[in-house]
Amino acid sequence: MSEKKRLHLHVPEPEFRPGDTPDFSNVTIPKAGSVRRPDVDVSPEEIRDLAYSIIRVLNRDGDAVGPWADLLSDDELIRGLRHMMTLRAFDARMMMAQRQGKTSFYMQHLGEEAVSTAFQCALEKGDMNFPTYRQAGLLLAQDYPMVKMMNQIYSNEEDPLKGRQLPIMYSEKEYGFFSISGNLGTQYIQAVGWAMASAIKNDTKIAAGWIGDGSTAESDFHAALVFASTYKAPVILNVVNNQWAISTFQGIAKGGSGTFAARGHGFGIPALRVDGNDYLAVYAVAKWAAERARLNLGPTMIEYVTYRAGGHSTSDDPAAYRPKEESDAWPLGDPIERLKLHLISKGIWSEERQLQTEAEIKDTVLAAQKEAESHGTLHSGGSPSTRDMFEDVYKEMPPHLRRQRQEAGI
Amino acid sequence: MSRMTMIEAIRDAMDVMMGKNDDVVVFGEDVGYFGGVFRCTHGLQEKYGKNRCFDAPINESGIVGAAIGMAAYGLRPCVEVQFADYVYPAYDQIVSEAARLRYRSAGDFTAPITIRMPTGGGIFGGQTHSQSPEAVFTQVSGLKVVVPSNPADAKGLLISAIEDDDPVIYLEPKRLYNGPFDGHHDQPVTPWSKHELGEVPDGYYNVPLGKAKVTREGADVTIIAYGTMVYVAEAAVKETGIDAEIIDLRCLLPLDEETIIASVKKTGRCVVVHEATLTSGFGGELLSRVQETCFYHLEAPIQRVTGWDTPYPHAQEWAYFPGPERVSRALEQVMEA
C-alpha cells in the first residue's frame, strides 16, 4: 500500500508586510471607460464578467470616459467634491479631538470618502441605508448638521443618542440612516428585511445594506444574499472592500473566490465591481443598482474596490501589520484628488478654488466643533443625564428598572 | 367562546391580529403553504396572501434579522422559529439588535417583533427538540419573555406580544399544544376540547404581559411555575394533599413580583419548578427575588425542582423530566423543614 499524502493547512498571507516594498504592478486595473454598461434588466448570467472587472470613469488625465460617464451636472460634481472634502476635514478634527481626550474613540474614512458620499446621491428621500461604521458620508452628503454628529461623538448633553452609544454609531431615521450596531454584518440582512417590507406594502422605497470585506465572512452575509435572492428584495447590497479588516487582509475573508462581488453570482444576484475611489463611477453604479431595485428587478451587489488609508480606528496602528508605503502605492489613488483633477480639466475648478474651499470647510467644521464642545465633551462640560441610562430599554419602564433606578439614586 | 387546542388558540391570535392590522406579517420555516410543522399558521397564507404569510429559508438569524428590518420599516412581524432549540443562530440578532435597538437609537428605531418558538420536552425529541432556553433570554435587557400554559392565555398573551412595541420571545410549551400534560407520561392527557381552559374567547382580547396568575390558592407553600410545570405542580399537589398555592408566571420578563411576594409572605414556603437546567436557570433568579423580599417570612429553605444539568436525553426522557414525583418530594421536604 502506498503511503498516504500528509495534509497541510493553508493560511493565506498578504503580499506585503512591514519592511517590504509594496508593489501593485501585478494588480490588473482596467482602463477607465473600458467596462460596458448593460441595461438594468440584464440577466445576471450575462454580466458575470462585471463581477471580476472594475468599472471606472475617471482616467489618469481626469477625464470622465466611457458608458458610465456623464451622469452628473457640474453643480453636482462640485457638491460631491465638497462632500468628500467635508468628510475628510471632519475626520481630521475628530481624530484630533480623540487624541486630545475629548472622546474615547473615532473611526475615519481616509481614502474611502467617495464611496458613501457618491452612493447617497443615487438614493431618494425615504430610502434607507443600513450602514457600517465607515459611511458617515451618507449623512454629510445630505448636509446633515455636523454639530449633531459631534454631539454624539462627544456623548455630551446634546447627544441625540443620550450617551448610550460608542462614538460615530449614529442613528437618523429622517435621513435614511439606520442605527449603527457596532456588531458586524447584522445590518446586512436587516436591510433586506426593510426592502422586503417596502415590497410587501407595495411602496416605492428601496434599501441599501453595507458591509466590509472582512465581515462578508459572517453568516448574516449569507443570510442576506439568500433572502434578497429568494424574495427579489429591492435592496442594494454594498461590499466596501478596503483591503483590510483591522489587521486581517482581505484574503482571509475572501478565501479562494476571485472577488467579493462574485459571491453574488452564487445567488443569481447581478454583481458589479467598481473603482471605489472614483466618485463618478461609484455614483453611476449606485444609480444603476437603484434603478433596478425601483423597477422591481431585485437586488444588486456592488463591490467597491478601495483602500483604508488610515487605521481601522483610533485604537489601531496599521504600521504593525502592513508597510507604511502601501497606501501611497495603492493604484487607485486619492478620491478627492481625482475628482478635483476632473473638475479642473473640465474647466470648472482650480487649485485656488480648492484651497479656498478647503479653508472654508475647515472654518465650518471648526465652528461646528466649537458649538458641540460648548455642550460638553466626554469627560468635561455638559453630559447626558444619568437618568437617561434607564430610559428606552423598553417603551414603558417596567417595575424592576424603576426600582433599580431608585436604587441608583437617580 | 370556542373550544380550542393551544395550537388553534395561537393560530387564532395571529388571525385576529392579521385581520386587525395590515402591518402584521407572519413568516418562518414551513409556515406558509404548509402551515407550520405544528400547524400553528395553518390557513393564514390562504386567508391573508403570500405577502403576509410566507415560508422562509432555513436561517434563523436571517428570519429574525429580516424581521428587525421590517420592523424598522414599520411592520409588526410575528415570526416562527421551528423549535426553540434552533434559535441560537438568531441569538446575535435578538440580543445585540432587536433587544437594544430602541435603547441605542434613543427611540429613533424600534423592534416590535414577536418571536414564537416551541419549547420544552416530553415528545421524545432528543436534545435538539426539547430544550427550554428561556434563561438565555431573561438575561437580556430589552426583551420580554412569555410562556403560556393554556389556550385562553396563549391567545391573549400572543395578541399582547404582537401589539407590544418591544421585542417579545414567545415560548410555546409543545407538550401542552394538545392538552394539559401533567408529567404522568404513562397516562392519557385530557384534550383541551374536554378541559375548561380550552374555552377561548372569540375575537380580540388580550392578557397583559407581566401579570402572573394564581391557578390554585393555598395556605402552606407557594409553587412558582410556568408552562408545562403548572400541571406537573397541580398533579404533585393533588398527590401529596399539601395545600399549596400555585403561581403560573405566564411572563418571566417583566416578572410579576407582587404576586410572588404576596403569596410567599402568606405561605412562608416556596418551591420553584422549571423544566430547564438548574445551574443559572431562571429558578435561581426567582430564588434570589424571594430571598431578598421574603426572607423573614420563610419557614424553610426554598427548593428548586428542574431538569438535570445534562443535555436533554432521548431514551432517558422521563428520568430527565422533572415530573410530579420530584415536585412532590420537594413539597414534602419544604413542609418538613
If one counts every other C-beta atom within 10 angstroms of the C-beta of residue A301, the result is 29
Chain A residues inside the 8 Å CB shell of B107 = 392
Residue reference for cell 454594498? A238
Q: Give the mean model confidence (pLDDT) for residues B153-175.
A: 98
A381 and A375 in contact (C-beta within 8 Å)?
Answer: yes
What is the DSSP-derived secondary structure letter of residue B281?
Answer: -
- Say yes or no to pLDDT of A336 above 90: yes
Instruction: Give me the sign of the Cα torsion angle A343, A347, A350, A356.
Output: negative
The answer, yes or no, to whether the previous bond of A67 is cis (omega within 30 of 0) is no
pLDDT tens per residue, range A176-198:
999 999 999 999 999 999 999 99
From the options 3.40.50.970, 3.90.700.10, 3.40.50.2020, 3.40.50.11540, give the CATH code of B2-200: 3.40.50.970
pLDDT tens per residue, range A339-368:
999 999 999 999 999 999 999 999 999 999
**Are A183 and B62 an interchain contact pair (Cβ–Cβ within 8 Å)?**
no
- Using DSSP bridges, classify how beta strands A244-245 and A128-130 pair: parallel, antiparallel or unpaired: unpaired
A240 and A211 in contact (C-beta within 8 Å)?
Answer: yes
pTM (2 d.p.): 0.97
| Annotated domain spans of chain B | 2-200, 213-336
pLDDT tens per residue, range B175-203:
999 999 999 999 999 999 999 999 999 99
How near does any CA of chain B get to the CA of A72, in Å? 30
> How many residues comprise chain B?
337
How near does any CA of chain B get to the CA of A172, in Å? 7
End-to-end CA distance of chain B: 45
Mutate to test the interface with A, among B54, B101, B108, B251 (most CBs of A within 10 A): B108
- Say yes or no to pLDDT of B84 above 80: yes
- Say yes or no to pLDDT of A41 above 70: yes
ipTM of the complex: 0.97
**Are B74 and A130 an interchain contact pair (Cβ–Cβ within 8 Å)?**
no
What CA–CA distance (Å, rounded) separates B229 from B183?
8
B207 and B235 in contact (C-beta within 8 Å)?
Answer: no
What CA–CA distance (Å, rounded) separates B270 from A197?
48
Residues of B with catalytic roles? 129
- The yes/no answer on whether domain A44-379 falls in CATH 3.40.50.970 is yes
Task: Find the chain B residues whose C-beta atoms sit closer than 8 A to any C-beta of A.
Answer: 25, 51-52, 56-57, 59, 61-62, 65-70, 72-75, 89, 92-93, 96-97, 101-110, 141-142, 144, 165-166, 210, 254-255, 257
What CA–CA distance (Å, rounded) separates B182 from B149?
11
SS3 at position A312: coil
- Say yes or no to pLDDT of B173 above 70: yes
**Are B62 and A227 an interchain contact pair (Cβ–Cβ within 8 Å)?**
yes
Task: Report the candidate in B99, B171, B108, B113 with the shortest Cα–Cα distance to residue A193.
Answer: B113
**Are A183 and B72 an interchain contact pair (Cβ–Cβ within 8 Å)?**
no
- The yes/no answer on whether domain B213-336 falls in CATH 3.40.50.920 is yes
Residue A59's pLDDT band, with cuts at 50, 70 and 90, is: very high
Q: A281 to each of A35, A55, A70, A209, B93, how far by Cα in Å?
A: 11, 7, 10, 19, 34
Residue reference for cell 508586510? A17
Beta strands across the sheet bearing B213-216: B213-216, B244-248, B221-225, B270-277, B303-307
| Annotated domain spans of chain A | 44-379
Chain B residues inside the 8 Å CB shell of A219 = 59, 61, 89
CA count, 13 A, side-chain hemisphere, B27? 31
> How many residues comprise chain A?
410
Q: Measure CB to CB from residue A160 to each of B69, B106, B166 and give the nearest one.
A: B106
Residue A2's pLDDT band, with cuts at 50, 70 and 90, is: confident
Q: Give the mean model confidence (pLDDT) for residues A265-289.
A: 98
Task: Report the candidate in A346, A352, A351, A308 with the shortest Cα–Cα distance to residue A330.
Answer: A308
CA count, 13 A, side-chain hemisphere, A79? 14
Residue A26's pLDDT band, with cuts at 50, 70 and 90, is: confident
% pLDDT > 70, chain A: 100
- Say yes or no to pLDDT of A1 above 80: no
pLDDT tens per residue, range A146-156:
999 999 999 99
What CA–CA distance (Å, rounded) separates B64 from B61?
5
Can you name the residues that pair with A177 across neighbouring β-strands?
Answer: A129, A172
For residue B5, give every residue at least 6 positions away whose Cβ sits within 8 Å of its Cβ, in sequence order, or none.
B151, B177, B178, B179, B191, B192, B193, B198
